[in-house]
Amino acid sequence: MKLSSGLFGIAISMAATLVKADSWGSAWSLGPTHNGAAVVKATTHFQPGAAPTPNEDILALWIGISNATSGLIQAGCDNVANMAGYCGAAANQWCCGASYFGFQNGVLGQWSGKFVPTECTDTITIDYTLQSDQRTWVHTVSKNGAVISTLQTFDGPLLQGGFGTGTECNANCGGSVSTQTYTNTTIVLSTADPLFSSTLGVGAGVQASQLTTADSGKTWTVASIKIPPMTINSNLGPNTGKPAVCGATTTPPATTTTRTTTGTGSGSTGCTSPEFAQCGGSGFTGCTVCASPFTCEFSNDFYSQCL
Ligand SMILES: *[C@@H]1O[C@H](CO)[C@@H](O)[C@H](O)[C@H]1NC(C)=O
Ligand SMILES: *[C@@H]1O[C@H](CO)[C@@H](O)[C@H](O)[C@H]1NC(C)=O
């Protein structure tokens, strides 16, 4: 499989230094490009499937592009133990948004746009486009057609670049419990690389349509990629997460508070929010009072939490 040996090798090994142990599910990947062709754009529509519950840290589902010396552009959806603290989501939702592992202003790290609560039935559209300055990448993540998260990074055209899915488990993650679906995926190169399809790596259990090109190798499309659930032995036992029913109605955690933070929270009265619940942030209209002894701590413009 190309994922570990080729394009993502460097980015993944950099990422691995930040966490104790990563386990990887099956992947669909392409790369590296040949003949001076660079990856300059990629687009897909993603459905993460039902989230594992109870949640365990950290399941990250993403689709990325990189080359061996660039950062890893990797928007997607995460599921963790504390979903309320992570993005204000309920336990059986996902937190989805733009993310990048690499250097920004000389600092190596995981850089992210806003992460937003997402249902298993939502469609997350991910677009990475190299701008005409041949340096800036604009990452745009939308949910059901509306933009929810953006990020800019500066790796330029990804020479000898590639593209692939990631089903990544850190720490006590118990794996994924649903098939993850990528629809109408398009990868655009700077010039034609007729041999790009020969680099395709398809992991065990992955079901994908044929990779096709209508312009002799500059634009590549695949109608459907289905990544199977990932079963691993975590500290919590083999795949302890049980699938929630995808499509079941979910409600965000009840919220409340004592301290007002930035944002437009209406601060309902007579309510209290438990530890880790959201209590403020732009667009937040829930309760802004935290149950004693917790206080509403500012995290960012979009999120305050009872801690
Ligand atoms: C990755 O792309 C950058 C930007 O174009 C380029 O400078 C670098 O040489 C590429 N790395 C490889 C291994 O080709
Ligand atoms: C994928 O493309 C087909 C054909 O153009 C279209 O009918 C369908 O709505 C697309 N699906 C998504 C999720 O964009």
Tell me which of 10, 153, 159, 190 to substitute to probe ligand 1's pocket, judged by most ligand atoms within 8 Å of the beta carbon: 159
Q: What is the pTM of this model?
A: 0.76
For the stretch 146-163, what's the b/e string if a residue is b when 16 or more beta carbons lie within 10 angstroms of its beta carbon?
eebbbbebbbbbbbbbbb
Q: Is 227 in the pocket of ligand 1 (CB under 6 A)?
A: no
Q: Is 67 in the pocket of ligand 1 (CB under 6 A)?
A: yes
**Of 101, 79, 105, which Cα lies nearest the Cα of 19?**
101
Tell me which of 66, 130, 136, 160 to substitute to probe ligand 1's pocket, judged by most ligand atoms within 8 Å of the beta carbon: 160
Note the pLDDT of residue 246: 65
Q: CB–CB of 150/139 below 8 Å?
A: yes
Mean pLDDT of each 10-residue bin along the chain, 307 residues long: 34 39 89 96 96 84 96 96 94 95 94 95 97 98 98 97 94 84 98 97 96 98 95 56 53 38 41 78 78 78 75
Report the separation in Å between the CA atom of 223 and the middle of ligand 2, taken as the mean of its atom positions: 8
Tell me which of 63, 122, 183, 209 to substitute to probe ligand 2's pocket, judged by most ligand atoms within 8 Å of the beta carbon: 183
Report the separation in Å between the CA atom of 61 and the middle of ligand 1, taken as the mean of its atom positions: 25
The DSSP string of the chain is -HHHHSTTHHHHHHHHTTSS-EEE---EEE----TT-EEEEEEEEEE--SPEES--TTEEEEEEEE-TTS-EEEEEEEE-S-HHHHHS--TTSEEEE-EEEEEETTEEEEEE---EEE-TT--EEEEEEE-TTSSPEEEEEEETTEEEEEEEE---SEET-EEEEEEEEETT--B--S-EEEEEEEEEESS--TTGGGG-EE-TT-EEPPPEESSTTSEEEEEEEEEPP-B-EETTEET-PEEP-TT----PPP--BSS--SB-----SS--B-TT-EEEBTT--S--BBPTT--EEEEETTEEEE-
- Residues ≥6 apart with Cβ < 8 Å to 133: none
Note the pLDDT of residue 37: 98
